[in-house]
Structures are given as structure tokens and as C-alpha cells.
Structure 1
Amino acid sequence: MASPSDTTPQPHRRRAQLAQPAAKQGPGAMPPALLDALAIAVTQRVAGALPGDRRAAGVGAGTELAQIRPYAFGDDVRRIDAATTARTGEPHVRLEVPERTLTTWLALDVSSSMAFGTAARLKADVAEGVMLAIGRLALRHAGRVGIATFGDGDTRVQPPRGSKAGLVALRRTLNAGVARDGVADPHALADALGRVGRVARLPGLVVVVSDFRDQRDWARPLGVLRSRHAVLAVEVHDPREASIPPVGRIAVVDPETGRRVEVDTSRPRVREKFAAIEAERRETLASELRRLRVDHAALSTDEDWLLQLGRRLR
């Protein structure tokens, strides 16, 4: 696995301050039985996209011998096999089969729109639950977890870690919260997918958790990821985003940009137009994911998100 440090020049963006929303409720209970069912569903999805039994391509660091061959100029001297070299009188190198572990990349949207919620919990709470559930499943069988966060300015990528270190990094990321103020960047998702694609060299699982609102040009980098990895797109939404109740004149503030708009919700035409625009946006998203053959799970803040996720994957 190559180092996730990316030297590609990135445009400077203002970094938002992260904080936990005041109305945070948490992801709720995660019964072990549902987590086990989710583990089976995820394994079935991933198995069809990876070569063999989670075996990395080529040779690399491992414990199972692949071959012993004569030393060639440029070989790593640390791979010289002492016993064979002593027996033959010529330097030989030892090559192993890479370990059969799965690396899971979690891309989390931490933009301020994720702090919205009018039902049982916020969108950020649902996203936190998905991250914890998938992260625990990924670490269960000696796997590793890499994390990318976007939506608060520059994309931040953390290298894959296993065991306790991976879980600590995941919890630290979730405890940081979401962006307080609007940092409008319509290419944040595309940038994060591109960064993950450049550092995730070996086939694995990529899970994108976002509300996918006001994001552009993400289809191409997501398609590139899909050509090499198993990809799951988790869309988090709130029922109030699909319709406006007739409560008269209200002031609406876009959390991404801070723009303030006054609308008269008592007018049926306004409500119908809003519902039509939102329905078209979500259908366009679902259609694009189907075209890319990316698994799509839509989770709502007013339902059991873990049960929804398990049913969708199965």
C-alpha cells in the first residue's frame, strides 16, 4: 500500500471550524444481530468485486511464500533469503503472497448541511452510525480502515490503520463534529473521491457517506473508483428536505452558503415547486449511481438507519 500522502497541488480553501451540533442525538442502538447481518451483506457485495479471497495482486509483504529467485539489481536487500543464499552461494530473494486483508476507505461528508435534522436524529447522527458500523465490520477480520473527510475546506485523508488504532482514529474523526459555518465548495466530494482514488492502490471497499447536496462533477472520479474497488454510496436525507409545510411566510437559510431567502409557504405553487425540484434532484442522483453500477443506500433520519442499510444491501 502506497503512502496516502498526496503531493498533488490543491487549491487553497478556507478551513471551517468543526463542532458537534447542539441537537446531536447519536446514532442510537446498534444490536449485534443486525451488525452480524450487515457483515454478511457487506461481505457478499465485496466478494464479487475483489480478486480471489481478498488476495492482493502480485507479490508483497506476507507470511506465505510465493517464490525464491536469484537476486536482481534493484531488489530490496531486506528480502534476501539467508538460508538459500548460503546453500547456493549466490544471493536469492524471498517473495511472499500479500496478506489477505481488506482495506476499507470511509469518505465522510462533514459539511454544515449534515447538521440538519427534524426527525429522530440529525443527518450527522445517521452518518456517524454508518461510519461506526462499517468501520467495526472492516476491523473485525484483521482489516484496515482509511478515512477521508470533506466539506469543511480542504479534504483530509488519514492512512489505513488496523485494530485499535483504526477504531481510535475513526472515533476521533467522528468526535470532531461537522462544520459550523457554510464553506460552499461544490467540488468537495469530487476532490475527496479523487484523493482516495490516488492513494487506494489495492482493491478494497470504498464507502461514501453524504447527503450529496449541491455537489458537482463527482461522477467521473466515482466511476474511476468503481472500476477498481467495491463502492457503496450511502445517501443521508431528512423528510423535511422533500416538502415544505404550509406555515406561512418563513426565512430559510442555506447552511452551506449562509444565503437567506424568504418564502411564503402558504402558497400551494411554492410547495409543489419545492417538492418537484427535490424529487428531481434525488432521482438524478439515483440514476447516476445506477449508471455507474454503484450500490446506493438511502437512509432517512426518521427511520431505523441500521435496518434500512441491512435491507438495502441484502
Structure 2
Amino acid sequence: MHPAAQPSAPPAETGVRTSLKALIDLRHRVREVPLFSTPHRRSPLVGLHHSKLRGRGVDFDQVRVYQAGDDVRTIDWRVTARTQEPHTKLFHEERERPIYLLVEQSRRLFFGSARVFKSVLAAEAASLIGWAALLHNDRVGGLVFGNAEHHEIKPRRNKQSLLQLLDRLARANGRLDSDTPIEADAFGLALRRAREVLRPGSLAVILCDERTLTDTAEQQLSLLARHVDLLLLPVFDPLDHALPAAGLLRFAERGARLELDTHDATLRQTYRQLGEARSTRWQRLADRLRVPLMPLDTQRDPVEQLREHLSVQHAGAHA
């Protein structure tokens, strides 16, 4: 539910809406987020994720002299023995890999108490990953879902395909409002569609509301993970996890009204526990499927968050 006093359609710069121009401009920041490997640098995702691909995804590129910080597991012992100097193997991910962005734009995300609404954050992160994939020479496409509408763009290795996806994303974002009905199984339908169109070795990037994970969706994600690789990016707002002790709060939605006394410590504790349970469920799913999990918070810049997540993944790979 949304606070009754929530403004209906503030301008894009407030973080309530995004635009095609804003999503295009994010291409200037993609080099700040090392999502994919280069011939001289392995992405932290390779060790935890892409190395377990079904017979594809990471290719040998070259050998060079070992440098401080290189993964010792990539040392080429034959070359090292021959030259009497440590050498390491360099890798790059297979070119023209299909990257499929599943991005939720439903009323569930039309809320935010911090820097941006969740719907805007999901769009920003999708744009960053899309531009990074295109820069990496991968094929980019995806599906924008929510509010009884699905817009699909077939993965292609050209800027026009990504621009079409971002345009669909910006249009869906611009149509969101607090009265838009929520399609009950939009996430499940999107995942089923991804299973139909994606071939083995593709990477499906999931950008959705943290609360979207249901039993049905979890089952669909498990089935999808059997054939393609997943990157999970659930989006949340600080108010999804904790209520402030702000007294009586009134909420309104489609004629329904709710009052909560946030001075009630038991109520706040129960609310916090529900938020923790959602986060734990995502973590358990990611652990079971052995896929990266990168939750995104509306109060922080997406570039900084993705960079931090990748840093943690990198540390974990060397632990």
C-alpha cells in the first residue's frame, strides 16, 4: 500500500520516474562496473558463476607474467616451469552471449522513501547491465513485465536492440501509478517465457521487487536455472524492512484504508521480521541454485552497489 499523501506524478528528476534519455545517459558509467571479463581482467562473477556453465562461457585467451592480485588458481604451471618465472592464464567470456534482462515495472515497485522509487532503480540497473553487455560484445534483449503487459525484445548484438528495450522500459515506467492493478502471476509468466526462448548458456538477469518471490516464481527460477545462468537482483526500499517510530501512519489504496501505530514496538518487530524473512528466502534460493545474488537498495546509487557486490564476490572467490 502507498501513503495517502503520495504525489501522483512528480517530474522524472525526483526519482519517481525515469526517461529514455536518463537510461541512455547511464552508458557513460558502465566502465565503473566490471560486470564482464576483458582479456586483461577476469570478472569476479566468472569464478563463482560462469565457470560452472554447461560447457561454455569462459574461454582461454592468453598467458602473461603473474602479477600481484592474480588468482593463484589460474597459474600456468607448464609455462612457469619452462620460463622459471610465474605466469598466469587470462580468460574472457565467450563472445556474443545472449544476455536477457527480465525487468519488473509493476505498481508493486511504484514506491520509494529514499533516493528513487524501486521502479526507477530497477530500470537504472537494467540499463547499466545492458550497456555493459553491449560493450562486451554480447547480444542483449529482454522482457519488461508487470501490470498485465509484457514487452519482449529479442537478444541482438546491436545498439538498436538495447535502445528498443530501454524505450519499452521507460514507457512502462511512465505509465505506473498507485491505481494500476497488479497482475497476480506476472513474474511467473515472465519466467516461463524466458524458459521458452532462451537457449542453454544464456544469462538471465532478474530485476524485480523483493516481494515478488512466491512459491510459483521460486519454482520457475529453479527450472530456468537448469538451462541458463542467473543473476538475481531483487530491489527493496528501507521501509520494506523496517518501520520508523513515527506515530500513527495512514495508508490508502484503491478505496481501502489502513492505520498503523508505529509506536507499537511489537508491530515494528513483526514488520522487521517479515522483511528479514524475504531477504533470507532470496539468499537461500541463491545458495541452492549457486547463483550470484545482488540486492539493490533505493537509498543508494546503483553503480556503487553493483561495484560493492562484485567486490564481495571477488573476495569470496579468493577465500
| 1:134 aligned onto 2:129 | yes
Deviations 1:170-228 (A, max 9, x none): 22022214332342333221111111110112421100001131542111221122111
Q: Residue 55 of structure 2 corresponds to which residue in structure 1?
A: 51
* Shift in CA distance, 202/304, structure 1 to aligned 2, threshold 3 Å: same
When structure 1 is superposed on structure 2, of 137-146 and 195-204 the one drifting more is 137-146
TM-score (norm: length of structure 2): 0.69
| 1:218 aligned onto 2:217 | yes
How far did residue 169 of structure 1 move? 0.9
Pick the aligned partner of 1:148 from 140, 143, 151: 143
Pick the aligned partner of 1:109 from 88, 94, 104: 104
Structure 1 runs of 4+ off > 6 angstroms?
Answer: none
Deviations 1:73-111 (A, max 9, x none): xxxxxxxxxxxxxxxxxxxxxxxxxx9521110000101
Deviations 1:138-157 (A, max 9, x none): 21243211211222114332
CA distance in 1, matches of 2:255, 2:298: 23
| Structure 2: gaps of 5 or more residues | 1-8, 38-42, 60-93, 314-319
Q: What does 1:71-110 correspond to in 2, within 5 Å?
A: 100-110=95-105
Q: Are the aligned partners of 2:36 and 2:136 in contact in 1 as well (CA < 8 Å)? A: no
Q: Are the aligned partners of 1:299 and 1:305 in contact in 2 as well (CA < 8 Å)? A: yes
SS at match of 1:155: strand
SS at match of 2:53: coil
Q: What does 1:4-43 correspond to in 2, within 5 Å?
A: 23-24=14-15, 31-35=29-33, 37-40=34-37, 41=43
How far did residue 289 of structure 1 move? 2.6
Q: Residue 69 of structure 1 corresponds to which residue in structure 2?
A: none
Work out the number of aligned pairs and report it: 250
CA distance in 2, matches of 1:204, 1:223: 15
The letter of the residue matching 1:52 is R
Select the structure of larger CA radius of gyration: 1
Q: Residue 182 of structure 2 corresponds to which residue in structure 1?
A: 184
TM-score (norm: length of structure 1): 0.70
Q: Residue 294 of structure 1 corresponds to which residue in structure 2?
A: 291
Q: Residue 195 of structure 1 corresponds to which residue in structure 2?
A: 193
CA distance in 2, matches of 1:235, 1:158: 21
Pick the aligned partner of 1:204 from 195, 199, 202: 202
Identity of aligned residues (%): 26
CA distance in 1, matches of 2:95, 2:31: 26
Pick the aligned partner of 1:264 from 261, 266, 275: 261
Q: Are the aligned partners of 1:135 and 1:170 in contact in 2 as well (CA < 8 Å)? A: no
Alignment root-mean-square deviation, CA: 2.8
* Shift in CA distance, 158/259, structure 1 to aligned 2, threshold 3 Å: farther
Q: Residue 70 of structure 2 corresponds to which residue in structure 1?
A: none
CA distance in 2, matches of 1:222, 1:209: 13
* Shift in CA distance, 34/286, structure 1 to aligned 2, threshold 3 Å: same
CA distance in 2, matches of 1:227, 1:20: 42
CA distance in 2, matches of 1:296, 1:182: 29
Pick the aligned partner of 1:120 from 115, 139, 150: 115
The letter of the residue matching 1:267 is D
How far did residue 259 of structure 1 move? 4.4
* Shift in CA distance, 267/124, structure 1 to aligned 2, threshold 3 Å: same
How far did residue 38 of structure 1 move? 2.6
How far did residue 240 of structure 1 move? 1.7
CA distance in 1, matches of 2:56, 2:182: 42
How far did residue 53 of structure 1 move? 5.0
Pick the aligned partner of 2:271 from 274, 280, 301: 274
* Shift in CA distance, 136/47, structure 1 to aligned 2, threshold 3 Å: farther
* Shift in CA distance, 100/305, structure 1 to aligned 2, threshold 3 Å: closer
* Shift in CA distance, 107/286, structure 1 to aligned 2, threshold 3 Å: same
* Shift in CA distance, 218/295, structure 1 to aligned 2, threshold 3 Å: same
Q: Residue 280 of structure 2 corresponds to which residue in structure 1?
A: 283
Deviations 1:31-60 (A, max 9, x none): 35413x2333376243542523579xxxxx
* Shift in CA distance, 260/290, structure 1 to aligned 2, threshold 3 Å: farther
SS at match of 1:116: coil
Q: Are the aligned partners of 2:153 and 2:161 in contact in 1 as well (CA < 8 Å)? A: no
The letter of the residue matching 2:193 is R
* Shift in CA distance, 259/271, structure 1 to aligned 2, threshold 3 Å: same
Q: Are the aligned partners of 2:109 and 2:117 in contact in 1 as well (CA < 8 Å)? A: yes
